Amino acid sequence: MSPPPAGPSKPRPRPGSGRRSTPRADLAKQARFGEISPEVGVLDETAFDTVFRDDPDQAVSLLVEMASATDERLRAAARRLATGLVLDLARQGVARSRGVGRLRPVRADRGGDLDLDASMPELLDAAAGGRAPRPDELVAQQWGRPELALCLLIDTSGSMTGRRLAAAALTAAACAWRAPGDHAVLSFARKTDVIRPLWSARTRPAVVDSVLSLRGHGVTALATALREASHQLAASRAARKAVLLFSDCRATDDEDPVPAARSCEELLILAPAEDSEEAAHFATRAGARWRPLAGPAAAPAALAELLDGR
Q: Determine the average pLDDT of the residues in 252-257.
A: 92
At 303, is the pLDDT very low, low, confident or very high (cuts 50, 70, 90)? very high
Q: For residue 186, what pLDDT is reported?
A: 98
User: Which of residues 146 and 46 earns the better pLDDT score?
Assistant: 46
Q: Determine the average pLDDT of the residues in 254-267.
A: 96
At 106, is the pLDDT very low, low, confident or very high (cuts 50, 70, 90)? low
Residue 184 has pLDDT above 50, yes or no: yes
Rounded Cα distance between 200 and 73, Å, is 31
* Cα–Cα distances in angstroms (integers) from residue 90 to residues 34, 64, 70, 93, 289, in the given order: 27, 15, 28, 5, 21
Out of 64-78, 145-159, 203-217, least confident range: 145-159
Q: Which helix (H) or strand (E) holds 149?
A: strand 148-155
Q: For residue 111, what pLDDT is reported?
A: 62
Residue 7 has pLDDT above 80, yes or no: no
User: Which of residues 167 and 21 earns the better pLDDT score?
Assistant: 167
Answer whether 114's CB lies under 8 Å from 123's CB.
no
Q: For residue 3, what pLDDT is reported?
A: 44
Q: For residue 136, what pLDDT is reported?
A: 79
Residue 230 has pLDDT above 90, yes or no: yes
Answer whether 38's CB lies under 8 Å from 182's CB.
no
Q: For residue 282, what pLDDT is reported?
A: 97
Q: For residue 113, what pLDDT is reported?
A: 74
Looking at the DSSP bridge assignments, the partners of residue 150 are 183, 242
Rounded Cα distance between 99 and 81, Å, is 27
Q: Determine the average pLDDT of the residues in 112-131.
A: 81
What mean pLDDT, rounded, does the chain reach? 86
Strands (E), 24-147: 103-107, 113-114, 139-143
Q: In the chain, pLDDT over 90 holds for what percent of residues? A: 65
Rounded Cα distance between 151 and 160, Å, is 20
The whole model's pTM is what? 0.77
Answer whether 151's CB lies under 8 Å from 233's CB.
yes
Answer whether 204's CB lies under 8 Å from 220's CB.
no
Q: Determine the average pLDDT of the residues in 89-110.
A: 62
Rounded Cα distance between 243 and 229, Å, is 7
User: Which of residues 33 and 141 earns the better pLDDT score?
Assistant: 33
Residue 146 has pLDDT above 70, yes or no: no
Residue 112 has pLDDT above 90, yes or no: no
Q: For residue 20, what pLDDT is reported?
A: 62
Residue 14 has pLDDT above 60, yes or no: no
Residue 96 has pLDDT above 80, yes or no: no
Q: For residue 8, what pLDDT is reported?
A: 38
At 92, is the pLDDT very low, low, confident or very high (cuts 50, 70, 90)? confident
Collapsed DSSP state (helix, strand, coil) of residue 244: strand
Answer whether 154's CB lies under 8 Å from 166's CB.
no
- Domains of the chain (ranges, CATH numbers): 24-91 (no CATH), 103-143 (no CATH), 147-308 (3.40.50.410)
Q: Determine the average pLDDT of the residues in 142-157.
A: 81
